[in-house]
Chains A and B, each alone.
Chain A
């Protein structure tokens, strides 16, 4: 018997119904039937579809045999080589070719070769024939380049297999089908061949042979009527011709309203006007979102809506993994857990991430990579994971607060693994893998569970366990590799390994691939990501054969994949309720609508059927706030008792420029914390120079010997937190600065009595009956023989303040330090100030220059007095509880760096910009 199904029909259910009817009286008879189906998954679904129909009754089922497992063992057919072993051996062969350096890339190349190899078995090709494909003499030499390379599978590989007395898995599958075909006539019980398309010769032979015995059933799925001009469903149609049954009986005559028009749309080249009724597409809706994000939200909303109707089922069908990931995230709005049946690549699962972070750390053994690893939920180091994490966080916090290097004591000894990466030398892959897994297991061990259990004991772990067991079994094939290759190679395998989900919270909603959707038949089918390149994906011709070569060889063209997808699409399109969605822009680039949508639209239009593009309006509505809010520019007026009672001279400058920063730092006590081991080079160099000069003036206050300075410099450079390259680059700059310092020393040392460096000081000012402490640290104080004092500030990178700025009170550091000195806060005696100077250390040609605020002693006195009065006025102003801490009230005087810009949220309220902004 030869049956066909409609696109609207559910093959699994119709088949089980039919079988049950047929064997109503004979339970043992049903068990003797063999049902051959295309895939394992199909077998599972048919098995499940037996459940609801017989309700509670137990039932012996027919044998459900996936096509490629027809016979587990057959003494006439040699065993197949393990596919992991095969890929590694082939990769080894590829690696011998020039230009393919690393093993992970060789694995990818080997994979593309196996595709060709597998096709050669399916289509009974002689690979030796390849040479004759390019008959034109002019191109023979170019073609030889490819042939040479393909000799890997043409010459070398068959020899290897022969030596091992093994065959390729694909070869074996084809041979098994043929063996089964041969055996068919001996099988007494009926054989049902369901959903097989006869896409390659061996399969056709099987179907034709089976059709010759009346007890056997053949169920054809996806037959597009014989007058379809396009290649859609070609293999089934060819099969029908060969079976000499042009129009098989329907297994079940169920059809949705849109089936005929949908088939027309996809299978025809031109269309006749007005042959369909205007309601033909009433169950098919097209939604075009502006962005992929809104598309995902729209789909989530559609799925959620389905749950409002009891027992209704729905599925998102897509080839776009990122779309389904977003839909899954969006479903959390309603606490609905959804799984993508395509699964998650192992690299993106907790175990995969943990293993990668470990190799990342081995490649870059620095603080941030260590923390990234230890933050992983799987890291426990023998302790309670929660407590362990707390410790790591605390340690990270401390290191950042102190701006020190990361250090943390681990019980786990990672050195056997880390040491493999230290020198760039070749190490056997097996050693990498063993040490890696050992380190991982040890680091994952918690106080109450073994690392093995925590890593491999879950669903994800099982998948990982299987992969790594295979890899360690065949690890020797890979041999020695470079340390940088190891993570890549591991990732290549983890990328290809999918962790498939068990069941989610609701079995009414699903995310499916197109092929699976064809088997499941949900009530509502949402087909998402319908853009060219995604659905359908662009089939790649691959580097070896072009289309006409493929035609000559008789193997399928790459575009056949689109036809197969079109059939899946047809199945989905014939669900009782259908939503087609796409985004106009993906990753910021305008997209092209899927050819399937274009066809539907054309057919609708020519038939005058309304088929409008709905916008993702609901998604926009969901994100639309009930009202827009604007925030005010902050101007906090905290009570007087929390306002600072003292500040350093540099903070007075900040206060003058941005009072809000003073508020955040000294009232809210919010101290900025830079990321771990992430320092601004210029700042590090600046403090390095300051540190060197401090030591120099402390130890050799009157030295004019450059060696004294350079020696300190060398020591400090060695310890500095700078990249080696930067140190090399900066040292000559420092040498120039040193030259400048010594030259300046030579000029002034004769005049100097004493030099003091980095001395702290403070004085108390009484303003409004309250005490205010002014503190300051001068870079360098020089006491001259004439009894006067000079105060010097070293400037390395930051812009030099102008004298005008100093006078206006926006660079009050030197005058205020002078004020401190005047009041003998430095304990140097009350000397008159004769010089206030910046030593601008540029590191350029002359190394630097002295910039004095060149005024007479009297003028300096006046400047200092103005600063004093200005400061008192400042303190007084803020002693008023009404005075607010404004954000940079004078824009032109805003500080160069502002740690509190984000907190102030200037971007949100500022509408007054400077040209320089």
Chain B
């Protein structure tokens, strides 16, 4: 009951609540409970805003909420009452019950659904509604990362060629290698909001930034390099001087005869380096700002906003005076309740947005008679997104800030920790708790005197923790010199051996071992393999599991164009464009799309007189035929249709699956999505698409949430945020020291000033200190990452590792864990094993029943459809004869064509209208209504005065009469311009407005009128039917016989 008390307080709809929820403590449930109680208390589902971290989380929450409300809608009152009581701890009244029942319909009535979204989606929708206020283009589109990258690279290349930046580029060249150049800028540009903030902080120009940097580095503002050196010696002597008094790396030698001279040389040496760093940073910034300028112009031109802009512009919007209130007002009375999930990973800018909106809640003017609340849930132990700007301390700072504000406004603020873990079994939590007690391991996870004790809820469930000994590298056999490359050297690396060991373990578990808490055999879907980084283990794991026929749910990220099935599709594309590319065709032939063996490829290539393609056509007619059909297809459809047809109608997908397993599906689907993405901005040609692919690095991120397919999931710890697995393997625990990955060699000072340090030897005291601090922060985040990793496990956790050939990282996970547990004896197998017994009945989950429509394929699936008996489309005879226009040789540039069309239509309309109006008004009307560019026949009005045509417009006549029927076995559907039905006769008249009357009546006209005549004869068999053409230009009527 204590357990529920925590949760119950947190979901109390009257209080603003700040929840620090350790991993597995049911934070999502609290969140949903709270939304339910808010709805129950206040209704108004459109006044609730719930900010989640990912779109997947938003969808998941939304679906869970709808499901819950649906059950309420259809429950009988007694059950519902009980359910509500459990939720609110109060007996519901009848109003509440009625409301509960109708909430389902209510939330389904909200136009855009409930506002459960990521902060980016929220900003996007806000900016769409306030484009003028936010100064953004009203129809802006989102520039995704892929396109941003493409554009920045393009702009950067152009900027490097800018003549006014030659000296800057050349200066960089002295320090930066070609391969590092683009990545360095990309790193900097990924922090472009920081860069633009810099210019507003140090207004004016780059020089004021440089000024500040010099101050920071403690160097004289106006000193030249020579002047610096001259404080020590003559300029020419400098190099010698250094050699004499300093070590090669610039440090003071441990033993020196002239300590003072060495010291002064050292100071000068440092100052020279600083001077160089400043020069370099200036050059770098000049280029970077030019790139940013161009990038902004591009975005403005194309009405694009990138993800940073969404946040920046919203922040700016809300910062404008009184704007938050206006925004809330114009959002139709706005928001009453804000809920923030995963708050520890909210960046300061994102906080600013939430703060400005929520501030309005509790400020004097925005305060309304309705109660407004804020709910924040997070866990700073799980803050692992520093590279997106998150900061674990911000979570605490914000808590303090809101606590004060809310209390000031005389609302209730509650700070509630959730400590009961509903997720993990006792051994797992025991491990987590023990690790968190170690000084070393908790550095960065817990702060000050904080304790984190996870209380076990699942005390009666069976669980397991095992720590395996490290896999050690074997000494590499030195191969004899010039050993012929014939024998396969297959001695597996330590990493590969570990992977095989785990894969074997998984193979032995699935179907054999029991998941005790659920009392059923273990399935592939129970297993989650967590890695620190994708490299180097992810792909080998996939292959190792595949080899053992264990289903794998693919990987959470992939470089699409590196994947072999995608390479095959690209090769196929290259083939249809350039069939003479022999190597490429050989790759296509060997791919599952065609399926040649190595030997068949040999046949297709060997002793060929010309291209491989020629030889294939001679020797392998059937595959050649398939390839030809694919070639023809390529000519007729855009890329998306091309690939869908190849994968579908040409059985590409089936063939890929046969060779690469079911995992291939996801890559293929992503590839199809890519083709769609391409055509959003580019002309959809295959050649263009292929070139685009060559020039991209396309990383695909996917969500591997639970229960989609019953397969092993392999993902990074970052990707596992918010997820869990019944059985978790942690094999990547040693890790190799790597260069700081984010921010490259750009060091940011505490004041947000950038200093470019191109290599470690270029560090000076100040940058070295900063660098160290950064490294420490990263190390702390690594420990939080470990916390996240350990707490993903619900039932079992296996910790393993291998010793890499390069030295392992200091304070690597494996060491942290082993030290915290105080276990030694690295040879035992396992070196530690904690287990808990299942002491209650297992909670058996009902397996979702699969419904099969067909057990096997019906035979029509592989049969072409039998030919259709087609009903012919009715012929419209008037369509056959467009007047005055030669459509076969029309061109958009002769606007006369349009005019002729307009003229014809206008005359027809006049002939219908005028007879209904008194004649004295006619000329006035003509003057009024004739468009200036249309020239009417001068004697048009004569038609009505001419006695010959009198009865055409008489009371017995009908205008524009539709007629249908069959004539000469052809279905006809036409429109008769004028129809006169007399006692004995029927007259059909068709107006022709041609400006030049042909000497002979065109056959099409004749056919048209004969068709009408034929039909009218059927309708009026007793009457005489006559048909006429009336040439308006010449006022001649001709009977068609």
Contacts and interface: CB of A to CB of B under 8 A. Distances in A.
A24 interface: no
B601 A668 contact: yes
B486 A886 contact: yes
Contact of A917 (B536, B870, B965, B966): B536
Contact of A269 (B105, B887, B1014): B105
Contacts of B925: 75
B649 interface: yes
A756 B669 CA distance: 57
Max chain B Cβ within 10 angstroms of own Cβ: one of A58, A138, A301: A58
A625 B964 contact: no
B865 A506 contact: yes
Contact of A625 (B102, B563, B654, B917): B654
Nearest to A672: B583
Contact of A588 (B702, B861, B873, B912): B702
A164 to B, nearest CB: 10
Interface in B608-655: 608, 612, 635-636, 638, 640-641, 644-645, 648-649, 653-655
Interface string B944-960: 00000000000000101
Contact of A73 (B563, B865, B929): B929
Interface residues of B, number: 217
B694 A675 contact: yes
A329 interface: yes
Contact of A728 (B160, B676, B962): B160
A375 interface: yes
A905 B898 CA distance: 59
A73 B607 CA distance: 78
Contact of A333 (B577, B648, B705, B853): B648
A911 B139 contact: no
Contacts of B807: none
A623 B688 contact: no
B106 A269 contact: yes
A100 B865 CA distance: 53
A25 interface: no
A915 B963 contact: no
A58 B963 contact: yes
B157 interface: yes
A473 B898 contact: yes
Contact of A905 (B564, B645, B966): B564
B679 A348 contact: yes
A471 interface: yes
Contacts, number: 558
B912 to A, nearest CB: 7
B598 A636 contact: yes
A543 B130 contact: yes
A269 B912 CA distance: 52
A59 B976 CA distance: 12
B850 A615 contact: yes
Contacts of B971: 51
B30 to A, nearest CB: 21
A507 B536 contact: no
B578 interface: yes
B966 A58 contact: yes
Given A149-B132, A506-B865, A670-B605, A618 B854 contact: yes
B865 A304 contact: yes
A506 B966 CA distance: 22
Nearest to B638: A348
B59 interface: yes
B161 interface: yes
Nearest to A658: B485
Interface in A449-499: 450, 452-453, 456-457, 462, 464-465, 467-473, 484-485, 488
Contacts of A623: 653-654, 657
B1024 to A, nearest CB: 16
B893 A472 contact: yes
Contacts of B856: 621
Contacts of A32: 958
B158 interface: yes
B111 interface: yes
A372 interface: yes
Contact of B913 (A58, A73, A271, A335): A73
Contacts of A843: 177
Interface stretch (A233-241, A406-414, A864-872): A864-872
Given A304-B861, A733-B173, A28 B963 contact: no
Interface in B789-839: 804-805
A51 B964 contact: yes
A335 B648 CA distance: 12
Nearest to B670: A588
A406 to B, nearest CB: 12
Given A112-B139, A268-B105, A348-B679, A874 B685 contact: no
B110 to A, nearest CB: 8
Contacts of B160: 723-726, 728-729
Interface in B856-879: 856-858, 860-861, 863-866, 868, 870-871, 873-874
B919 to A, nearest CB: 13
Interface string A586-604: 0111111101001101100
Given A99-B135, A332-B649, A634-B598, A372 B322 contact: no
Given A138-B325, A437-B892, A588-B702, A601 B485 contact: no
Interface stretch (B66-74, B307-315, B521-529): B66-74
B543 interface: yes
Given A297-B648, A368-B687, A673 B962 contact: no
Interface stretch (B21-29, B327-335, B743-751): B327-335
A685 interface: yes
A469 B104 CA distance: 52
B323 interface: yes
A372 B685 contact: yes
B332 A360 contact: no
Interface stretch (B194-202, B250-258, B489-497, B1032-1040): B489-497
Given A293-B672, A393-B580, A907-B564, A729 B857 contact: no
A304 B133 CA distance: 53
A375 B329 contact: no
A360 B156 CA distance: 20
Contacts of A731: 170, 173
24 contacts: A58-B1016, A72-B909, A75-B921, A99-B135, A99-B137, A105-B303, A268-B105, A377-B636, A396-B577, A559-B109, A590-B60, A590-B703, A598-B70, A634-B598, A672-B583, A675-B694, A725-B160, A728-B160, A729-B181, A866-B482, A870-B482, A874-B484, A913-B536, A915-B536
Pick the 10 closest A-B CB pairs, nearest first.
Answer: A725-B160, A870-B482, A58-B965, A468-B892, A625-B658, A724-B161, A356-B683, A725-B161, A329-B644, A809-B482
Given A638-B602, A889-B486, 18 more contacts: A99-B135, A112-B138, A270-B101, A307-B860, A330-B648, A350-B636, A368-B687, A538-B112, A538-B113, A592-B63, A592-B66, A624-B657, A655-B485, A670-B586, A671-B582, A726-B178, A874-B484, A915-B805
